[in-house]
Structure formats: C-alpha cells, structure tokens
Amino acid sequence: MGAHSPELLQLDLWDEHLPTTVGVKPTTVLSYGLGADSTLILIDMLRDPLSYGLEPDLSDLIVITATVGSEWEDTVRLVEEHIFPLLRRHRVRYIQVARCGPYEADGWEVLADSRAPQKFVPRGRWTLMDELSLNGTVVQAAGGNTCSLKYKGWPLDQWGLTEFPDRPFRKIVGYHAREGKRATTYDACQQKDNAKARRTICTVEYPLIERGWDRDVVEARLFTEFGFVWPKSYCTFCVYSGSCAAKPAHMARLRDHLSQAVEVLALEYTSMALNENGSFYPKETLYDRVAEDGNTAALRALEDHLSSTEWALYRIRRVFPAARTDSCRERHGDSCRSPWPGCVDPETGERTPPCMQWHGPTCREPQPACRDASRKGKASRSVKIVFKGTRAQVARLIRSRAQDNDEHVEEAFGHPLGHVRSQALSRSSRFPTVEEFHAIAPSGVIEKQKENFEKLWRETCRQLRIPV
C-alpha cells in the first residue's frame, strides 16, 4: 500500500463549505482496537446489523485499525483465528493504517484494505517502538494519552478525511460504560476537528455506554462466545500496565512472550542509562517487577542480549531552565518569548504602558518575575555518540577517558543491573542549571539535539559562570 503525505491530501475546507450528499445514509466506521470492548461490538454488529442501524448485508460497514506496531502476539493470533474468518464470511471491509514517520509531514499509509483479511500486518514503516528506541526513552505516564493520539488518532483522522472528503460518516468507538469521561473528552476533540474543517466530519457513537455494558459485562459476554477471556489490547511497553489491576495480566504476558519481554526490558535499561529517571514506573523498574514475578527466563534472556549486542559510549548534556510562574502563564499564555496580546497596541503597534511596567526594557525575554528558580522547567537534551564497540571496549574507554579528564566514574544502580557513568558537570538544585556526563549502553540511540541547543547551552553556562 502506498503512503500518503499531508501535503498531497490537503483538503480545501477552510474558505467554504463542501457540498454534502442529501438523503444518503452515512457509512458506519468501527474503530477496532483489537481489544475486548471493540471486539464485542464487532461481533454484535455481525450478528444483528439492524440493531446498529446497518444494512442487512453489512455493505455500509467499515472496520479499521490504527496499527501502532507493538501489539501482543497472542492478541494478533486471536484476531486472525476468530475475527478475520467472520469478516471474510460477511465480506466486511477491513483496513489497517499507520504513521510513516515521527512527524505529520512524513504522512501515513494503508497497510491493508480487504474484504477477505488473512494476516494482521504487525507494523508499518514506522512505529512508536522505533521512536522510543532511537530516542533512548520510554513512554511517560505524565504524557497522558498523547502517544495514542499520535499513533492511533492522527492516522485514523487522516484516513477519514481522505475516504470521506465531502460527506460525514458515522464513527463507532468502543468505550465501555465506566468510561464516560473518555467519551466526553473524545466528543470535545471531535467537535474541535469539525469546527476546524467547518463541517461535520463524523458523528461519534458509543454503543457499550448506551447499553450500560461495563468491562465485566463485556468480558462475560465474550467468554460465553469464545470460552476464554479476551485479552486487553495495548502496547508491550504501555506505562499503564503498571496499575494494580493490570499488573497480574501484564506479568503473565511477559512470561508467555519472551522475545517481547526482552525487547521491553532492554528499552528500559537503555533509557535509564541516559536518564536515571527513565524507568517505566515512577518508584520502581519493570526489571524489579519481572524479578519479583520469578520470570528468570526473561532476566537471563536480557543478560544474553546485553552481552551479545553492540554498545556505545554516549555524551549527554542537559539544560534545565527554571519553571514559569503562574503569573507569567496568566499574562503571557503558552509562550513567554512572544509578546502577550495586551503588550502591543493593535492600532499603533507600540508597546502598551502595562507592558513597559511589567517587562521593562524588552518584552521578548523572560523577566525575573516570570521564572521560579526553585522549580524545574522543561529540559533540553543533547545526545552524541563518541564510540561504538563491544561492551568491554566501551567500558574500558569510558574509564580511560574519565581518567584523562579527571572525571569521577560512578557505578549507578538506579537499575538493578547498574550503569557506568562519568560525570563532567553535575546539576544543582536551583534553576537554571546544566549537567554533562558520559554513559555506556546498547547502541541504537541516535544523535539528537534541537537546533538551538548549542546556543542555549552556551547562554546558560555563561549565566552560571561555567566555562563552555
């Protein structure tokens, strides 16, 4: 299947309303996430299409999945064994879409589009795991559902705009009866998209919420249907697997899927080498939980992986700015480096008296009242690769390099297996501050820093009177 670039798919929706087809029944699109909730809806639709407002032959139904690229192998197997035969029997159109890269400009692609699906396409040309591995990080719980919006919501939206450029469609979403807040949030996002497009892109319905079916009802009905509990669908590295309710099932899956367990454990190990706070869970590591679970097979396999893979010596620099104050956010909005709307007189283009009083000589730079030196703002990071080789080679190199530069080598044990670092600059408890260190970890992390990082590094070092 071909890739789609946003530039090629740009729709002219901004200056005028596109005509809609009057009297035409909208197509129903089920957003199929492979998990229990949407699986029950799909089975119910196939058994009783009329109760869902569908044609008896299901000709007006499309089932679509946004493929993130790290689905559990058992979920894929169950979909292929139990769901795909039903889609083939009823000739229902099934589609898979995915991102083509980390940026929207990279576009999206259709991985599969068939009325007789046989095999689930496990990944596209770019996945969330690719992004995490190349950046040497893990998904953060503080990020909310941003990864889902990026890797599921965005390609699904792009497909919808392309498939239905001039008429609305009907979207079915599998939130269960205890997920009313999620539905409210989703409705608000869809309303914003509709307003931006100046038309109704789609209407959204939640059959499980309408029927009052919560997760217990869903799982019970699926157990009656199949004779087993349908597993949850989520990425192998999902941070929400750390909740108390999800933990037992997650540990069981890590025992059952050794290769996927090693991939996730290795991701965490590398993440913590570059950032001591880069574990999956706030107060403990995934490694700790796997060890507590007695999954020695996964721990041995991780050791084998770390011993046989290529390693690298990385140079890490970070700049930690001071956090913005509440008064700054109130006056300046999202950005402190741009004039607040009340700072410029729209008629004369000149700065207003309140702006002169609040900001002083310049409005473009943060003022002292805009920053709180006791709180950390959003950090900027630079990653450089110094050398690649075997684990023993990079271990010798970091020690010899540290000795030549009179740097302290520390055995960091934030992770149970430990990390080796040499510290050049240590950050302080007041902000702004900087830090610089070298660390060894499996190779695969790319060199990366923002375009303005070097300027920011120099300015911060000068402010702190640190030789650049």
What pLDDT sits at residue 1? 60
For the chain, the average pLDDT equals 91
Has residue 35 been placed in a domain? yes
152-164 burial by CB neighbour count: b if 16+ within 10 A, else e? bbbbbbbbbbeee
d(CA 342, CA 347): 12
- Helix, strand and coil percent figures for the chain, each rounded to 5: 40, 20, 40
Same domain for 16 and 41, yes or no, is yes
Has residue 197 been placed in a domain? yes
Task: Burial-class residue 240 by CB neighbours within 10 Å (0-12, 13-18, 19+).
Answer: middle
Has residue 193 been placed in a domain? yes
Same domain for 195 and 90, yes or no, is yes
What is the phi/psi pair of residue 159, to 5°? Answer: -60, -45
* Range name among 46-55, 70-79, 217-226, 340-349 with the lowest pLDDT average: 340-349
d(CA 103, CA 327): 33
Q: Token match 């799909």: residue? A: 42
Q: Token match 């009802």: residue? A: 217
Same domain for 345 and 451, yes or no, is no
5 — pLDDT class (breaks 50, 70, 90): low
Q: Note the Cα 82 to chain centre separation in Å.
A: 29
Same domain for 26 and 85, yes or no, is yes
Residue type, 378: K
Same domain for 266 and 201, yes or no, is no
Has residue 456 been placed in a domain? yes
What pLDDT sits at residue 89? 98
Instruction: Say if residue 9's pLDDT is above 60.
Output: no
Residue with the larger pLDDT of the pair 241 and 384: 384
What is the phi/psi pair of residue 54, to 5°? Answer: -100, 160
pLDDT in tens, 159-201: 999 999 999 999 999 999 999 999 999 999 999 999 999 999 9
What pLDDT sits at residue 140? 77
Same domain for 38 and 104, yes or no, is yes
What pLDDT sits at residue 13? 37
Same domain for 60 and 197, yes or no, is yes
Q: Is 439 helix (H, G, I), strand (E, B) or coil?
A: strand
d(CA 77, CA 344): 61
Domains contained in the chain, number: 4
Same domain for 98 and 162, yes or no, is yes
14 — pLDDT class (breaks 50, 70, 90): very low
Residue range(s) defining the domain that contains residue 304: 239-308
**Which residue in 175, 179, 167 sits closest to 203, CA to CA?**
167
What pLDDT sits at residue 244? 76
Q: What is the pTM of this model?
A: 0.88
Has residue 200 been placed in a domain? yes
**Which residue in 28, 1, 26, 4 sits closest to 162, CA to CA?**
4
Residue with the larger pLDDT of the pair 433 and 14: 433
Same domain for 26 and 127, yes or no, is yes
pLDDT in tens, 69-122: 999 999 999 999 999 999 999 999 999 999 999 999 999 999 999 999 999 999
pLDDT in tens, 342-395: 677 777 777 888 777 777 776 666 667 788 999 999 999 999 999 999 999 999
* Rounded percentage of the chain residues whose pLDDT exceeds 90: 79
CB 433 within 8 A of CB 378: no
**Which residue in 342, 346, 321, 323 sits closest to 331, CA to CA?**
342
CA-CA-CA-CA torsion for 344, 350, 351, 354, nearest 10 degrees?
A: -90
Same domain for 405 and 422, yes or no, is yes
CB 202 within 8 A of CB 7: no
Q: Among 267, 282, 308, which residue terminates a domain? A: 308
Instruction: Say if residue 16's pLDDT is above 60.
Output: no
Has residue 468 been placed in a domain? no
Instruction: Say if residue 7's pLDDT is above 90.
Output: no
Residue type, 76: V
Question: Long-range contacts of range 108-113, CB-CB < 8 Å, 24 or more positions apart?
Answer: 108/3, 108/4, 108/154, 108/155, 108/158, 108/159, 109/1, 109/2, 109/3, 109/4, 110/1, 110/2, 110/4, 110/159, 111/1, 111/67, 112/1, 113/1
Has residue 257 been placed in a domain? yes
CB 33 within 8 A of CB 235: no
Same domain for 109 and 75, yes or no, is yes
Structure tokens at 269: 């190990």
Same domain for 150 and 261, yes or no, is no
pLDDT in tens, 312-327: 999 999 999 999 988 8
What pLDDT sits at residue 339? 56
Has residue 232 been placed in a domain? no
